[in-house]
Structure formats: structure tokens, C-alpha cells
């Protein structure tokens, strides 16, 4: 597949690697096998995007400076010379070290771009152009099939264009923190880099959309996504509540703003979560717990009434289940059609038999990671390479 010099190779490669209809899954062939991707990104959003493409068969070369991806040093624990933070986002890639401020290394990158389908970068705005690698200024005409994905904090326009951004700052500025937490905690950062992860996923979607369009037009294009934009897009249903009804939910804690009971309880001394949305689920909950009287109580008839009286409802349910075994209760509720689950630690969740059954743990030599969440029947994703050491595949790397 070519960024400019060999426009016909894309279709040929796809035909050569696609399994025949009805064939058994081949873990060595992914849905985008043969796609050539240059990953010039660091930390979370860009590396996740490139890893997702790599998991599904793309040939990904990670380009690092001599300093390396900052996430290699994030934390106090290290595996094979890099932090677990790095290992979670960079499998199935090869690595080359280039100093893009030098003519020789820029020429080496340009040679790789000549046969690349996708380039992903998350430098501060203007950096690539300063190196003679800007998309509109330097690459678009020379490599007309190249899909150029840029990831930034605030995008390329507006009063904050070009300024640095990190996940937690985007959570704060977008309003996400204003709905996360409770009155005791105050506004609270979500405990994962949610905005970074969403940005990486949407960058992947954008690249795949551009690839689909390129199959029709033969032309590449710029794909842009920003942390701030993605943080705003995550505000459902709070943004709609404000835009359409001028209502702010404020800090919601562990309760759902528009469903009840949708919150934590305690059973046998262990925390569980029960999530009820529909009236039918509430009826199933009450009947399963032997709380049929609640169904005739006007305080709990219909969602609006339950939201208005959720404290009283919570207390009745909590008193009923306080001595129940948590796991047994959750199993009983789920089998009755009521979503419920134990509040696991990370270790407990990774050790759960459902995790193993879904192939959501992978192991390769000394590498262990979370599995691939998108399951394709004919062309499943696969883990083929552990995360690379810096420059492990250079300096004469090629496609």
C-alpha cells in the first residue's frame, strides 16, 4: 500500500491477504493486514490508535527520538526497560530512533512515508511544518494517498490552538470533573485517562473513515482530533440536559442522573452495583428480592417517582440485601434479568473467568496485556509482537 508512489498496491495487498469466504479464522491475518502506518506519537492517545491498527494486522513502525516515548518512564516499576504504562499501548509495533531535526533522519522518514498509508503524529502545532514535514505544506502534494492523522490538545484553530494539553486538564476544562465525584470529594478526576483513550479510539475511527473514502477517490486527507473536542463529546447525557433543558446535574457520585436504582449497595459486607433503567427491570428486581409491596407504592411507580424518592427506595433495598452473599445475589439478579455485579478490584476483574473466556488476557513470553475488545469472525486481531525496545528494529528499517 502506498502513500504516493504505488497507488495500485493497496487493492493487490488486500486481495492477496484476504481469507476465502467461510475460511477458519487465521490469527496471522487481520482485517487491515498490509496497511503501513508510521506512529510518530507519544504517551496515550496516538500510541493507542496505532496499537489498535496494529492489533488488526497493520504494519506499524514507531518512530521515537533518542529520548524515547515519555511513557517509557511513567511510573516506578519497569519491565524490559520500560514502564508498564508504555507496554499497555505499544505492542505489535517495530521501533526506530530518528532525530527529525537533522536532514539525514528526515530523509529516512520521507523514504518510509513514500510507501506508508497512514502517518500519525501528536507534536505541538507547527513542529512538523518546521521540520519540512507539514501535511498541507510539504506532504499532501508529494504523497497524495497519504492519510495524515494529527492529535492535539485543542486542535488547530480557536483561542487555545496549539497550546499543550493533557488528559486531566481536558477533564477539568470540558466539565467532566464537574459531574464526577460527590459533595464530600468535590470535582474529581476520572481514574483512567478517559479523554486520552477516547481520543485514540476516535483517531482510529477517523483513519478508517479516511481509508474507506480513499478506496473511492484514491486520495488521502488530514484526520484531526483533539482532547478538548473528545472530552466535550463524552458529556452525554449532561450536555444534552443543559443544551435542551437548561438543567445542570452537578456532581452525580455513583448514582445515575436519570435512572434509579442505578447505584452501589452492600451485600454481606461487600460492595455491589445494581443498574435498573426500565420499569420492567424494577419489577424484576422487586419480585426477585421479595419486595413486591414496592410495586404498589406510589413513591416508586415510574422512573420520575423513583428519582424523586431514590433515598427511601435505596434504604428499603439495602435493608433487604444487607446479609446476602454478594456474588450469589448478583448471579441471582442477573439470571432474573436485572443488571448487577460485584465491585471488583483491577486484580479481581482480570482474574475473573469471563475475562479468560472472552480472550481479554494475552501473554507472549514476558509480555502480558489486555486482549482485543473488537472480535471479527473471519479476520480476528492478534498479538504478534511484544512492545519494542527503543530503536530495536533500526537503523535500516524498511517496510
Summarize pLDDT for 246-277 with one digit per residue, the tens. 999 899 899 999 999 999 999 999 999 999 99
Report the CATH number that the domain containing residue 291 is assigned in CATH. Answer: 3.30.1540.10
Residue 350 lies in a domain: no
Q: Are 35 and 59 in contact (CB under 8 A)?
A: yes
Q: Is there a domain that residue 223 lies in?
A: yes
In a domain, 255, yes or no: no
- Degrees to nearest 5, angle at CA 23 with 17 and 29: 35
Distance CA 50, CA 36 (A): 11
pLDDT of residue 365: 87
Residue 209 lies in a domain: yes
Higher confidence at residue 81 or residue 178?
Answer: 178
State yes or no: is 87 an active-site residue.
Answer: no
Domain assignment of residue 394, yes or no: no
Query: Same structural domain for residues 108 and 70?
Result: yes
**135 shares a domain with 19:** yes
State the DSSP H helix or E strand holding residue 11, giving kind and residue range, or none if neither.
helix 9-17
Residues 190 and 309 placed together within one structural domain of the fold: no
- Tell me the per-residue pLDDT of 46-84, one tens digit each, with 9 for 90 and over: 999 999 999 999 999 999 999 999 999 999 999 888 999
CATH number at residue 166: 3.40.50.10540
Q: Does residue 359 lie in a domain region?
A: no
Is residue 2 assigned to a domain?
no
Whether residues 166 and 298 share a domain: the answer is no
Catalytic residue among 56, 256, 314, 344: 256
User: How far apart, in whole angstroms, are the C-alpha atoms of residue 114 and residue 73?
Assistant: 32
- Smallest CA-to-CA distance from 196 within 88, 284, 356 is with 88
In a domain, 158, yes or no: yes
Angle at the Cα of 154 from the Cα atoms of 149 and 155, rounded to 5 degrees: 40
Do 62 and 116 lie in a common domain?
yes
State whether 229 and 267 are in the same domain.
no
Do residues 287 and 211 share a domain?
no
Number of domains composing the chain: 2
Q: Are residues 285 and 155 in the same domain?
A: no
Clarify whether residues 192 and 304 are in a common domain.
no
Check whether residue 22 and residue 69 sit in a common domain. yes
Strand order in the sheet with 147-152: 93-97, 59-64, 36-40, 118-121, 147-152, 222-226
* Structural domain of 300: 262-344
Give pLDDT, residue 309.
Answer: 98
- Are 66 and 118 in the same domain? yes
The predicted pLDDT at position 94 comes to 97
Q: What is the mean pLDDT of residues 280-288?
A: 98
Amino acid at each position: 500500500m502506498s502513500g504516493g508512489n504505488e497507488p495500485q498496491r493497496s487493492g493487490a495487498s488486500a486481495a492477496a491477504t484476504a481469507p476465502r469466504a467461510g475460511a477458519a479464522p487465521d490469527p496471522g491475518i487481520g482485517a487491515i493486514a498490509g496497511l503501513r502506518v508510521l506512529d510518530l506519537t507519544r504517551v496515550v492517545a496516538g500510541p493507542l490508535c496505532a496499537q489498535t491498527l496494529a492489533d488488526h494486522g497493520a504494519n506499524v513502525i514507531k518512530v521515537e527520538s533518542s529520548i524515547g516515548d515519555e511513557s517509557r518512564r511513567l511510573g516506578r516499576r519497569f519491565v524490559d526497560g520500560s514502564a508498564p504504562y508504555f507496554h499497555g499501548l505499544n505492542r505489535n509495533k517495530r521501533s526506530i530512533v530518528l532525530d527529525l531535526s537533522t536532514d539525514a533522519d528526515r530523509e529516512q522518514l520521507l523514504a518510509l512515508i513514500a510507501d506508508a498509508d497512514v502517518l500519525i503524529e501528536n507534536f505541538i502545532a507547527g513542529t512538523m511544518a518546521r521540520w519540512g514535514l507539514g501535511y498541507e505544506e510539504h506532504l499532501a502534494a508529494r504523497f497524495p494517498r497519504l492519510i495524515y492523522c494529527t492529535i492535539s490538545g485543542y486542535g488547530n484553530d480557536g483561542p487555545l490552538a496549539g497550546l499543550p494539553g493533557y488528559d486531566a486538564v481536558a477533564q477539568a476544562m470540558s466539565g467532566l470533573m464537574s459531574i464526577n465525584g460527590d459533595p464530600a470529594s468535590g470535582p474529581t478526576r476520572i481514574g483512567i485517562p478517559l479523554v486520552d483513550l477516547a481520543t485514540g479510539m476516535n483517531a482510529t475511527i477517523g483513519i478508517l473513515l479516511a481509508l474507506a473514502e480513499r478506496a473511492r477517490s484514491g486520495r488521502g486527507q488530514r484526520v484531526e482530533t483533539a482532547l478538548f473536542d473528545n472530552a466535550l463529546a463524552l458529556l452525554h447525557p449532561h450536555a444534552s440536559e443543559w443544551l435542551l433543558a437548561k438543567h445542570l446535574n452537578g456532581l452525580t457520585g455513583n448514582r445515575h442522573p436519570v435512572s434509579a436504582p442505578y447505584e452501589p449497595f452492600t451485600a454481606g459486607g461487600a460492595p455491589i452495583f445494581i443498574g435498573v433503567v426500565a420499569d420492567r427491570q424494577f419489577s424484576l428486581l422487586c419480585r426477585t428480592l421479595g419486595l413486591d409491596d414496592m410495586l404498589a407504592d406510589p413513591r416508586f411507580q415510574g422512573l420520575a417517582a423513583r428519582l424523586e424518592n431514590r433515598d427511601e427506595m435505596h434504604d428499603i433495598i439495602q435493608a433487604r440485601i444487607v446479609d446476602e452473599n454478594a456474588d450469589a445475589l448478583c448471579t441471582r439478579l442477573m439470571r432474573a434479568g436485572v443488571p448487577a455485579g460485584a465491585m471488583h478490584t483491577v486484580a479481581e476483574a482480570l482474574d475473573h473467568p469471563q475475562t479468560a473466556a472472552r480472550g481479554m488476557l494475552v501473554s507472549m513470553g514476558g509480555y502480558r496485556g489486555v486482549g482485543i475488545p473488537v472480535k471479527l469472525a473471519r479476520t480476528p486481531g492478534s498479538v504478534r509482537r511484544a512492545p519494542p525496545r527503543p530503536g530495536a528494529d533500526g537503523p535500516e528499517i524498511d517496510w
